C-alpha cells in the first residue's frame, strides 16, 4: 500500500476509535497552549506557498500565515510544527485533529465548508485555474485544446474544473491523473501530456522548476474561481475567530500602513484605528481569548499581508506574481477586511 493511502487509513481509523471526549470537547486554543506549539498542515512543496528552502526551513505564504497565528497565540512565530500533506490527506488530517490549522492552498467551496467538518476563515490568496502548454504547440487560447492530453493532480478541485470546462465548451480531452505533484510535472515534462493544469499561481511556480521555462507558456484563460484560504475544524468558534481575525489584522495593517519595520513607532500613533489594532486601546484580544498584543506580535514577527505577499510570491520572490486580485480594495483588488472595533 502506498504511504499516503496508509496515512488516510490510519487517520480514518483514528477517527473511528477516538472517543468523543478526547479530540473535540477541549478547545483548540487550549490544546495549542498546553502543547506550546501550533500544528499546521501545509503543502508538501509548492514554490511561494509552502516549500522547504535549502536549509530545511519552511517558507511561503501559507507557511507565513501559520507563523502569524503562532505569534498571535503563543507570542512566538517559531513555535509551529509544519505537517506536509498531500491534497488527498489534508481534510482527514484536519478532521481527525492531527493538525490545528490547515493552511495549504485549499480552495474554499461550499461542500468543503458545510459537509466536510471544516470552516474556512477567509481568503489568503485569490487564485483561478489555468493551463500551461509547451510553446511549440502554438496554442493561443484554451478553446484550441480539443483532443489534448491533460496532466492533473488528484484530490483537488482542478480535476472537476477541467472536466466542467471541456464539457461546457463541447471539447474533448484525455485526462492523466497523478497522486503527487512531482510525478504530474515529470509526466508533463516527458511529453505524456500537452497541458498541465492547476491554479495559475502554481503554474508560474512549476514553470520555474522545469529548467527550460522559456519553452512553456501559461495560457491567458482562467477557467475557475479558486479562493485559497486557511481552514479549521467546524464547531470551535473561538479558534475559527482567532484564525479569521489574524488574517484580517494582517490585511488591515497593510491598509493602515503598519509593517514589521515600523510597528514600534506606530505604537505612538494618534490614529485610533491603529491603536485598536495594536492593542493599545480597547480589549479586542479578550474577545478571542488572547492577550491584547495578539496582532502586534503577529505583525512584528511576520509582517503585514503585503509584506508576506511580496516576500513569498511577489517582487521579492522568484515568482514575481503581481498583486492583481490580491491587491487591497483601495488599490483595485479584492483584499478587504472588516474593521477592528
Partner 1 sequence: MARGESDAAREARPGAWRERLASLVFDPRVRGIALQAVLVVAIVAFAYEIVSNVTDNLARQQIASGFGFLERTAGFDISQRLIAYSNTMTYGRAFLVGLTNTLLVAGLGIVLATFIGFAVGIARLSSNAVISSLAAIYIEVLRNIPPLLMLFAIYFAVLKGLPDPRNSVVLPFSSYINVRGLTVPKPLMAPGFDAFAIAVLIGLGLVAALAIWSRRHRLATGRTAPVVPLAVAILLGAPAAAYAVAGMPFTFEAPTLGRFNVTGGLTLLPELVALTTGLTLYTAAFIAENVRSGIEGVPKGQTEAAAALGLSRAQAMRLVIVPQALRIIVPPLTNQYLNLTKNSSLAVAIGYPDLVSVFSGTILNQTNQAIEVILITMAVYLVLSIATSLLMNWFNARMALVER
Residue 191's nearest CA partner among 145, 154, 220, 148 is 148
Exactly one of 76, 79, 128, 163 binds partner 1 (CB under 8 A); that residue is 163
Exactly one of 30, 35, 78, 137 binds partner 1 (CB under 8 A); that residue is 137
Q: Measured from the CB of residue 161, what is the shortest distance to partner 1 in angstroms?
A: 10
Residues 212/303, Cβ–Cβ less than 8 Å: no
Q: Please identify which residue in the block is written with the cell numbers 472595533.
A: 341
Exactly one of 154, 238, 259, 260 binds partner 1 (CB under 8 A); that residue is 154
- Residue 21 found at the interface with partner 1 (CB under 8 A): no
Q: Measured from the CB of residue 188, what is the shortest distance to partner 1 in angstroms?
A: 10
Q: Please identify which residue in the block is written with the cell numbers 511561503.
A: 60
Exactly one of 175, 282, 289, 324 binds partner 1 (CB under 8 A); that residue is 175
The CA-atom distances, in angstroms, between 53 and each of 31, 48, 58, 63, 277 are: 29, 11, 6, 12, 32
- Residue 110 found at the interface with partner 1 (CB under 8 A): no
Residue 298, SS3? helix
Exactly one of 192, 261, 286, 341 binds partner 1 (CB under 8 A); that residue is 192
Q: Measured from the CB of residue 337, what is the shortest distance to partner 1 in angstroms?
A: 26
H/E stretch holding 284 reads: helix 284-287
Residue 302's nearest CA partner among 63, 32, 68 is 68
- Residue 164 found at the interface with partner 1 (CB under 8 A): yes
Per-residue b/e over 276-307, b at no fewer than 16 CB within 10 Å?
A: bbbbbeeebbeebbbebbbbbbbbbbbbbbbb
- Residue 112 found at the interface with partner 1 (CB under 8 A): yes
- Residue 141 found at the interface with partner 1 (CB under 8 A): no
CA 110 to chain centre: 17
- Residue 15 found at the interface with partner 1 (CB under 8 A): yes
Site for partner 1, residues 89 to 108, rule: CB under 8 A: 91-92, 95
Per-residue b/e over 140-157, b at no fewer than 16 CB within 10 Å?
A: eebeebeebbbbbbebbb
Exactly one of 36, 55, 110, 115 binds partner 1 (CB under 8 A); that residue is 115
CA-CA distance, 287 to 139, in Å (whole number)? 54
Residue 185, SS3? helix
Nearer to partner 1, 7 or 256 (CB): 7
Strand partners, 152: 177
Q: Measured from the CB of residue 107, what is the shortest distance to partner 1 in angstroms?
A: 11
Number of residues that bind partner 1 (CB under 8 A): 60
Which range, of 61-69, 83-91, 222-230, 237-245, touches partner 1 by CB under 8 A?
83-91
Grid cell at residue 72: 498571535
- Residue 19 found at the interface with partner 1 (CB under 8 A): yes
- Which CB contacts under 8 angstroms, 24+ apart, belong to 75-78? 75/291, 75/293, 75/297, 76/301, 77/297, 77/298, 77/301, 77/302
Q: Measured from the CB of residue 236, what is the shortest distance to partner 1 in angstroms?
A: 10
Which range, of 157-165, 243-251, 311-319, 330-338, touches partner 1 by CB under 8 A?
157-165
Binding site for partner 1 (CB under 8 A): 1-2, 5, 8-9, 11-12, 15-20, 24, 87-88, 91-92, 95, 111-112, 114-117, 137, 145-149, 151, 154-156, 159-160, 163-164, 167, 172-180, 183-184, 186-187, 190-192, 194, 233-235
Amino acid at each position: 500500500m502506498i504511504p499516503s493511502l496508509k496515512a488516510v487509513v490510519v487517520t480514518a481509523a483514528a477517527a473511528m476509535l477516538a472517543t468523543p471526549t478526547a479530540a473535540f470537547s477541549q478547545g483548540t486554543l487550549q490544546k495549542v497552549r498546553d502543547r506550546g506549539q501550533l500544528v499546521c498542515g501545509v503543502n508538501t512543496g509548492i514554490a511561494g506557498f509552502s516549500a522547504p528552502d535549502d536549509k530545511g526551513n519552511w517558507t511561503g505564504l501559507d507557511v507565513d500565515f501559520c507563523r502569524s497565528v503562532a505569534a498571535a497565540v503563543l507570542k512566538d512565530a517559531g513555535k509551529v510544527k509544519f505537517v506536509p500533506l498531500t491534497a488527498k490527506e489534508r481534510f482527514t488530517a484536519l478532521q481527525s485533529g492531527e493538525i490545528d490549522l490547515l493552511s495549504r492552498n485549499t480552495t474554499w467551496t461550499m461542500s468543503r465548508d458545510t459537509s466536510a467538518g471544516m470552516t474556512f476563515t477567509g481568503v489568503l490568496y485569490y487564485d483561478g485555474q489555468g493551463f500551461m502548454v509547451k510553446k511549440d504547440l502554438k496554442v493561443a487560447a484554451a478553446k484550441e485544446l480539443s483532443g489534448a492530453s491533460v496532466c492533473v493532480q488528484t484530490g483537488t478541485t482542478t480535476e472537476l474544473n477541467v472536466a466542467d470546462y471541456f464539457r461546457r465548451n463541447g471539447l474533448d480531452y484525455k485526462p492523466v491523473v497523478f497522486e503527487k505533484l512531482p510525478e504530474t510535472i515529470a509526466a508533463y515534462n516527458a511529453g505524456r501530456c500537452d497541458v498541465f493544469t492547476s491554479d495559475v499561481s502554481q503554474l508560474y511556480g512549476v514553470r520555474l522548476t522545469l529548467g527550460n521555462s522559456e519553452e512553456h507558456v501559461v495560457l491567458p484563460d482562467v477557467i475557475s474561481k479558486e479562493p485559497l484560504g486557511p481552514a479549521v475544524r467546524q464547531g470551535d468558534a473561538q479558534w475559527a475567530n482567532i484564525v479569521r481575525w489574524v488574517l484580517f489584522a494582517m490585511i488591515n495593517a497593510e491598509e493602515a500602513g503598519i509593517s514589521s519595520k515600523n510597528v514600534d513607532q506606530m505604537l505612538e500613533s494618534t490614529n485610533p484605528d491603529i491603536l485598536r489594532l495594536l492593542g493599545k486601546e480597547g480589549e479586542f484580544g479578550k474577545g478571542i481569548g488572547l492577550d491584547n498584543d495578539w496582532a502586534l506580535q503577529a505583525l512584528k514577527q511576520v509582517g503585514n499581508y503585503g509584506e508576506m505577499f511580496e516576500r513569498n510570491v511577489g517582487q521579492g520572490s522568484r515568482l514575481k506574481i503581481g498583486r492583481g486580485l490580491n491587491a487591497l480594495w483601495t488599490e483595485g483588488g479584492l483584499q478587504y477586511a472588516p474593521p477592528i472595533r
